[in-house]
């Protein structure tokens, strides 16, 4: 029986595969978890035989472990996204159809080596942010089953948070790829509209729908997003895009006190305040901005003519089978019948006016940090008041697709009652890649989440003034690793990630009693270990000297030997600094140690 980590992340699974565990063994353990997870999380589970057939097909075309970007990574798909061989229900059994082909996004992920395990539950026709509007049951918050999971991508968030899938696809029109992430303490990646194909996706509001990724970390979610995205000529709303940069030191916008509505949830308010403090400690400049035009745009999604766009998506089915719909979903969508063409134009005019007003606020900031949801509710309360309480959840999310934004939701703490809270970073169109570094640092600084963020490495961006042969390389082993709390000390000096590496066998690793926590690496000739995971980064000569000069004792820079026989400058620890330290060599690296510690293992 293969022992899987509590949370399935890419690095841990890749390490298992590199050590000889087979994908068949991993998928057998995943299948066991599928059977014991929240029964409402899945609408359709793939059989063990079908999953193992995909494993055999993977090994036939890519036999070497980790030879494809997502080699052997189990994933799940929201059941409004087509998968050949499984019905697409959109949460409505009478609507079900059998697609002949995978949705474009599913096809790309499977080609990259990911293994599909099933289709997940959702608020019917992706109409809702709470997860209770499904005839297949209401998935629950993994931390307290009396509370909602969030929606509409309810099942996708739950299976990632429960350690059943390494990542999962959702969709996001009003916040459905972010709110469930917050309620289940995981990461939600919402790409800018048009970057990821929606071919093979049942539309909610087709003009602004986005396919999203749930994962344990920003690193994993962005890795999946990079593979999923790309221009699709079959999708009329797909765009050819280029990544937009963000400054190294970010101006992060937060709403003024008059716009910080938490509906009496003082615990969430306090956690948001703490998140602002962490963002500032990470080097961001906090700027108060006027959220009003964003809030008014958000209200248009359910109060304006975009309700009629939901009607347009399923009108023939609704006309023929009205009783097949969840009563709340039916009431919302049928509200579109009252909208006229003139209403549609008035709504479009109003949205453009609000976008223009928001330009003045965007000029003040590089991105926004908002509560992902200002409140959470029990399933019982939501069923008693399904519209008003649901509307609360979208207060800070609904505007993002209207404004073409990129967004990443990350965990940001727990209330005393044990309920998770999250924040979202939102930035202008196509800053998806640039936004990742700060999102990962914010996740790491919070010290919570299904898994602490790990492995994030923004692609190196070479410029004429920073040619690689004019730069110096350094190996980092702990708090300066990508996604870790001090990584900004590298990136803030213009450092570029080069590659992951491992030390020679005769190194030992210790957890030091420092703040923030750091490891100490020492060399012991003759020690027969497996080496320690490190990352190699490059800096300009002046930045290298400035960085090294700021390193506090007992750490320093020495010559580090790697397992490929090469050597380069890297972090080492003075022997005197090991007094009282715990040896963690067996974990193979700092990130593995933190993952184990934070999962309670």
Q: Which positions are annotated as active-site residues?
A: 78, 152, 176
267 burial via Cβ count (<10 Å: 0-12, 13-18, 19+): middle
Residue 454 and residue 218: Cα distance in Å, rounded? Answer: 8
Q: Could you tell me whether strands 167-172 and 74-78 are parallel, antiparallel, or unpaired per DSSP bridges?
A: parallel
Distance CA 81, CA 66 (A): 26
- Which is it for strands 507-512 and 518-523: parallel, antiparallel or unpaired? antiparallel
Residue 168: cis peptide before it, omega within 30 degrees of 0: no
In 18-108, beta strands by DSSP E: 42-45, 74-78
Round to whole Å and give the CA distance between 56 and 75: 17
Radius of gyration of the chain (CA): 24
Enumerate helices (H) and strands (E) in the chain, giving the number of each.
19, 19
How far apart, in whole angstroms, are the C-alpha atoms of residue 265 and residue 453? 27
Residue 529 token pair: 């270990």
Quick one: tokens of 107? Answer: 């096809």
Phi, psi for 512 (deg, rounded to 5)? -85, 155
Burial 192-202 (b: 16+ CB within 10 A, else e): bbbbbbbbbbb
Q: Measure the CA–CA gap between 539 and 472, rounded to whole angstroms.
A: 5
Q: Which residue has the tokens 């730069």?
A: 471
Nearest to 40 by CA among 115, 134, 124: 134
Positive or negative, the CA dihedral 573, 579, 580, 586 is positive
* DSSP state, residue 460: P
């Amino acid at each position: 029986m293969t022992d899987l980590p509590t949370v399935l992340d890419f690095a841990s699974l890749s390490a298992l595969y590199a050590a000889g565990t087979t994908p068949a063994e991993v998928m057998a353990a995943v299948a066991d978890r599928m059977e014991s997870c929240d029964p409402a999380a899945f609408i359709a589970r793939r059989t063990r035989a079908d999953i193992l057939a995909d494993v055999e097909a993977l090994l036939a075309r890519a036999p070497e472990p980790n030879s494809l970007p997502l080699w052997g990574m189990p994933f799940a798909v929201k059941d409004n996204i087509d998968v050949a061989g499984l019905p697409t229900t959109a949460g409505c059994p009478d609507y079900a159809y059998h697609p002949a082909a995978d949705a474009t996004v599913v096809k790309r992920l499977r080609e990259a080596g990911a293994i599909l395990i099933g289709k997940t539950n959702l608020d019917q026709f992706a109409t809702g942010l709470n997860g209770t509007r499904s005839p297949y049951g209401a998935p629950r918050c993994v931390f307290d089953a009396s509370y909602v999971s969030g929606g509409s991508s309810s099942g996708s968030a739950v299976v990632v948070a429960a350690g059943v899938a390494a990542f999962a696809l959702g969709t996001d029109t009003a916040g459905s790829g972010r709110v469930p992430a917050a309620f289940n303490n995981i990461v939600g990646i919402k790409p800018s509209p048009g970057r990821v194909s929606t071919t093979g996706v049942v539309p909610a509001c087709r003009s602004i729908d986005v396919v999203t990724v749930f994962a344990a970390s920003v690193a994993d979610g962005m890795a999946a997003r990079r593979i999923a995205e790309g221009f699709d000529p079959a999708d009329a709303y797909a765009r050819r895009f280029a990544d937009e940069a963000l400054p190294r030191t970010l101006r992060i916008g937060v709403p003024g006190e008059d716009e910080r509505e938490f509906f009496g949830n003082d615990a969430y308010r306090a956690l948001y305040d703490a998140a602002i403090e962490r963002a500032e400690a990470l080097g961001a400049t906090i700027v108060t901005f006027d959220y009003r035009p964003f809030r008014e745009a958000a209200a248009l999604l359910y109060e304006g003519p975009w309700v009629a766009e939901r009607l347009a998506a399923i009108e023939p089915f609704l006309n023929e089978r009205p009783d097949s719909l969840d009563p709340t979903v039916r009431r919302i969508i049928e509200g579109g019948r009252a909208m006229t063409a003139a209403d549609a134009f008035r709504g479009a005019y109003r949205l453009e006016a609000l976008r223009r007003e928001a330009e003045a606020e965007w000029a003040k900031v590089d991105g926004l940090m908002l509560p992902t949801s200002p409140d959470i509710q029990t399933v019982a309360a939501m069923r008693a008041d399904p519209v008003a309480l649901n509307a609360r959840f979208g207060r800070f999310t609904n505007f993002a697709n209207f404004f073409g934004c990129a967004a990443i939701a990350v965990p940001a703490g727990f209330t005393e009652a044990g309920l998770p809270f999250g924040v979202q970073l939102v930035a202008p169109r196509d800053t998806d890649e640039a936004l990742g570094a700060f999102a990962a640092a914010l996740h790491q600084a919070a010290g919570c989440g299904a898994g602490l963020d790990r492995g994030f490495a923004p692609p190196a961006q070479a410029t004429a003034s920073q040619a690689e042969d004019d730069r110096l390389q350094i190996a980092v082993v702990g708090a300066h690793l990508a996604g870790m709390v001090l990584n900004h000390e590298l990136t803030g000096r213009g450092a570029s990630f080069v590659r992951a590496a491992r030390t020679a066998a005769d190194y030992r690793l210790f957890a030091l009693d420092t703040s923030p926590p750091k490891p100490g690496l020492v060399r012991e000739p003759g020690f027969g270990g497996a080496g320690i995971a490190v990352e190699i980064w490059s800096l300009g000569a002046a930045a290298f000297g400035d960085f090294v000069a700021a390193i506090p004792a007992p750490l320093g820079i020495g010559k580090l030997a790697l397992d490929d026989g090469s050597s380069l400058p890297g972090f080492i620890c003075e022997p005197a600094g090991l007094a009282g330290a715990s040896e963690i060599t067996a974990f193979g690296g700092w990130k593995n140690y933190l993952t184990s510690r934070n999962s309670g293992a």
